[in-house]
Amino acid sequence: QKEVEQDPGPLSVPEGAIVSLNCTYSNSAFQYFMWYRQYSRKGPELLMYTYSSGNKEDGRFTAQVDKSSKYISLFIRDSQPSDSATYLCAMIEEYGNKLVFGAGTILRVKS
């Protein structure tokens, strides 16, 4: 079993839809949770960053962490074609120096 599980998709939605992307993990020592966005043929870039449990909102994006269930989510409101990309969850321990990534979910937003 992988440390971090993420459905690779692809997930295809119409423009304006609410998108929900999820990851589960098994290592209870993970304390920091991130979402990276990767456009085609580019390197990943940090999108959202959350500490421990709770929510964080940034514009149309909301990241949620439920440590009791070992489950994290990224919600995208009013999705746009420009949101089409691969979204990778990543997590790290308190004093860790290695991120552990999920497989990435391919998202396609159709206009």
Partner 1 sequence: NAGVTQTPKFRVLKTGQSMTLLCAQDMNHEYMYWYRQDPGMGLRLIHYSVGEGTTAKGEVPDGYNVSRLKKQNFLLGLESAAPSQTSVYFCASTGWRGAYNEQFFGPGTRLTVL
Q: Are the C-beta atoms of 32 and 72 separated by less than 8 Å?
A: no
Q: Are the C-beta atoms of 45 and 96 separated by less than 8 Å?
A: no
Coil, helix or strand at residue 41 = coil
Map the footprint of partner 1 across residues 45-104, applying CB under 8 A: 45-46, 49, 51, 88, 92-99, 101-104
Looking at the Cβ atoms of 37 and 109, the one nearer to partner 1 is: 37
Site track for partner 1 across 10-49, x = CB under 8 A: ---------------------xx-x------xxxxxx--x
User: What's the CA gap between 82 and 96, in Å, rounded?
Assistant: 33
Q: Which residues bind partner 1 (CB under 8 A)?
A: 4, 6, 8, 31-32, 34, 41-46, 49, 51, 88, 92-99, 101-104
